[in-house]
Amino acid sequence: MANYDFDAIVIGSGISGGWAAKELCEKGMKVLMLDRGRMVEHRKDYITEGKGPWQLAYRGNLPPAETDRDFIMAKWGGANLTAQTHYYNNDRLNPIDYENSQPFRWVRPNQVGGKSLIWGRVALRWSRIDFEANKRDGHGSPWPIDYDEIAPWYSYVEKFAGIAGSKEGLPQLPDGEYQPPHPMNVAELWVKDRLEKAVPGRKLISTRTANMTEDKPEQGRSRCQDRNMCARGCSFGAYFSTQSATLPAARKTNNLTLMSDQVVTNLEYDPKTKRVTGVRVVDANTHQAHIYRSRIVFLCASAMSSTQILLNSRLPGNDRSFADSSGMLGRYIMDHAFRASFWGTVSDPALEPFIAYGRRPNGVYIPRFRNLNGQDADADFVRGYGMQGAAGRGPAGAAGFGAAMKEAMRAYGPWTIRFTAFGECLPYKDNTLSLNPNKLDRFGVPLAVFNVTFRDNEQKMMRDACIQGEAMMKAAGLTGVGSINEEHVPGDAIHEMGGACMGEDPRSSVVNRWSQAHDASNLFVTDGSQMASTSCVNPSMTFMALTARAADYAVKQVKAGAI
């Protein structure tokens, strides 16, 4: 009988790792959770929370020299903002590599809690058509699960996380377990009313978000205070993060051991039993290596990191990963395309007397409307996109200078509304993450090599988003309508997915319908790496649901003596 240090090891402490730790601990397992980043404790370590612009280093912004030196990728996720720079990976110390000079923006966190501290908090369910998409149009590996399979798990995680949203009855964006939605402002309601009348089938709704509108006293969390300083950490616990929600729950069981600054380099594997036998870490500070052993392992290091760890987990005497008998490990790397935007001005004088009080943490959302019932006749692409936006009024600009200008700047400019499309990226087998065996990082791990591009379908989809967006703004009666379709660089949306995709067939996928590795029965890969497609909606709720579901299955298998 093997000698285990823990019942389970969870690698990573972000949205997926936090859920894995909570679920496994609550089911009575002794859990070790590892994170490569530094420790950040709820409240105590939110060092910039509540500060005004004048209290932040450089008034909030890192000078270009430092940004370009240390955060060449992370700046695309906000590392250049000094209110939150401390939550990001240093790209100079932890570099990546490229193949064919294809750029990839891998925005990584640098702490326990991972990206759950700095995420966008958009909390949407995938729909039936999302899970059927690969099967229907033949791209990628077909999903082995459908919406009905995952729906109860969405409900389970939504109730705990605290999601604010409206029920809309839309098949392409299923309703969940929601607290009341955050309110829309007067201009958004104006646009909603006119858009929904002018273009039947289009909807404008309050973005479903993991910022609560009701307290959760049982978790010690309060509703959102409309500060919009979420990415600094929130002492109210108003938004879902590992620190505010899953970590306290896991700790309450006394079953959790949490270790920060532990860089997992690879998993040890026994080909005879087809089991993972150990998790090898290097301490980020001392560079000491250590191997921890457990009955089961949950790999939740983030889509790209989990893939990198698996690629670096070789069969004994072989340079091939034990998890790659399918040849699919590191393939189907995806991200949402999201640099297509459009906007307009609400010129109705009836709105002129009003401004917004408070800083709402969310905005508004136009759910997918393209290719919902088969292929639209006028669409030259498959699948679709959703649109995130908000209306607001900035301070008025003023000509000249002096007291008159200062007085004029006490007024507001017009109400404008702006949206950005999030487009589904198709799974391409040759969009890859691999390792460069000739370049090792400071922990001895081969650098991740990205070779990922958006292609014709994504480009056409984003062009369509601009055309449709402008048409909607005009139909709703807005003025000054415009759009821009900027360069789409993979990784930019920070919705990277794939690399260890889920599928029924062990010959064409890496994990099975339970997020369990085909090649190792005691290994579960439950973060974004398991995704076989991207949908067009934000993925975090799906990672949560799949993780909770996998934990439930894994513990049942352990109890049954199967793994």
Binding to another protein (CB under 8 A) within 358-397 occurs at: 358-360, 362-363, 388-390, 392, 394-397
- Rounded to a whole number of angstroms, the minimum distance from the CB of residue 358 to another protein is 4
- Rounded to a whole number of angstroms, the minimum distance from the CB of residue 426 to another protein is 22
Using the minimum distance from each CB to another protein, give the nearer residue, 390 or 532: 390
| 47 is a site residue for another protein (CB under 8 A) | no
Binders of another protein in range 229-258 (CB under 8 A): 230-231
Among 3, 53, 317, 560, binds another protein (CB under 8 A): 53
Using the minimum distance from each CB to another protein, give the nearer residue, 185 or 457: 185
Binders of another protein in range 403-422 (CB under 8 A): 403, 405-407, 409-413, 416, 418, 420
Using the minimum distance from each CB to another protein, give the nearer residue, 238 or 276: 238
**CA 273 to mean position of chain CA atoms:** 34
Q: Angle, nearest 10°, between helix axes 540-559 and 147-161?
A: 100
Q: Is the dihedral of CA 343, 52, 183, 241 positive or negative?
A: positive
| 354 is a site residue for another protein (CB under 8 A) | yes
Binders of another protein in range 76-105 (CB under 8 A): 77-78, 80-81
Binders of another protein in range 310-339 (CB under 8 A): 338
What six digits make up the tokens of 127?
């729909």
3-class state of residue 97 by DSSP: strand
- Rounded to a whole number of angstroms, the minimum distance from the CB of residue 537 to another protein is 13
Region near another protein per CB under 8 A, out of 36-44, 73-81, 318-326, 528-536:
73-81
- Rounded to a whole number of angstroms, the minimum distance from the CB of residue 137 to another protein is 27
**CA 269 to mean position of chain CA atoms:** 29
Q: Which of 111, 277, 249, 104 is nearest to 551 (CA)?
A: 249
- Rounded to a whole number of angstroms, the minimum distance from the CB of residue 455 to another protein is 23
Binders of another protein in range 113-132 (CB under 8 A): 118-122
Decide if 239 contacts 9 (C-beta within 8 A): no
| Residue 229: exposure state from Cβ atoms within 10 A (0-12, 13-18, ≥19) | middle
Using the minimum distance from each CB to another protein, give the nearer residue, 97 or 348: 348
- Rounded to a whole number of angstroms, the minimum distance from the CB of residue 83 to another protein is 10
437 CB neighbour count, 10 Å cutoff: 11
411 CB neighbour count, 10 Å cutoff: 12
Give me the residues paired with residue 446 across strands. 440
Among 43, 47, 58, 193, binds another protein (CB under 8 A): 58
What six digits make up the tokens of 11?
């690698």
Report how many residues bind another protein under the rule CB under 8 A. Answer: 75
Binders of another protein in range 192-231 (CB under 8 A): 207, 225-228, 230-231
Decide if 235 contacts 43 (C-beta within 8 A): yes
Binders of another protein in range 157-196 (CB under 8 A): 182-189
Separation of alpha carbons 317 and 162, rounded Å: 48
Decide if 306 contacts 313 (C-beta within 8 A): no
Give the phi and the psi of residue 136 in degrees, each rounded to 5.
-70, -45
Separation of alpha carbons 125 and 151, rounded Å: 9
Using the minimum distance from each CB to another protein, give the nearer residue, 331 or 495: 495
H or E, element range at 148: helix 147-161
Separation of alpha carbons 474 and 468, rounded Å: 10
Say which residues have a Cβ less than 8 Å from residue 41's Cβ, sequence separation at least 6.
243
Binders of another protein in range 16-35 (CB under 8 A): none
Among 138, 349, 374, 402, binds another protein (CB under 8 A): 402
- Rounded to a whole number of angstroms, the minimum distance from the CB of residue 371 to another protein is 22
| 465 is a site residue for another protein (CB under 8 A) | no
Using the minimum distance from each CB to another protein, give the nearer residue, 222 or 557: 222
Region near another protein per CB under 8 A, out of 52-60, 288-296, 450-458, 462-470:
52-60
Using the minimum distance from each CB to another protein, give the nearer residue, 59 or 556: 59
| 549 is a site residue for another protein (CB under 8 A) | no
Amino acid identity of residue 421, one-letter, is A
3-class state of residue 289 by DSSP: strand
- Rounded to a whole number of angstroms, the minimum distance from the CB of residue 350 to another protein is 11
Amino acid identity of residue 555, one-letter, is V
- Rounded to a whole number of angstroms, the minimum distance from the CB of residue 184 to another protein is 6
Using the minimum distance from each CB to another protein, give the nearer residue, 248 or 414: 414
> What own/partner pairs with CB < 8 Å and gap ≥ 24 does 219-222 have?
219/244, 219/245, 219/248, 219/249, 220/248, 221/162, 221/245
| 466 is a site residue for another protein (CB under 8 A) | no
3-class state of residue 76 by DSSP: helix
Using the minimum distance from each CB to another protein, give the nearer residue, 152 or 394: 394
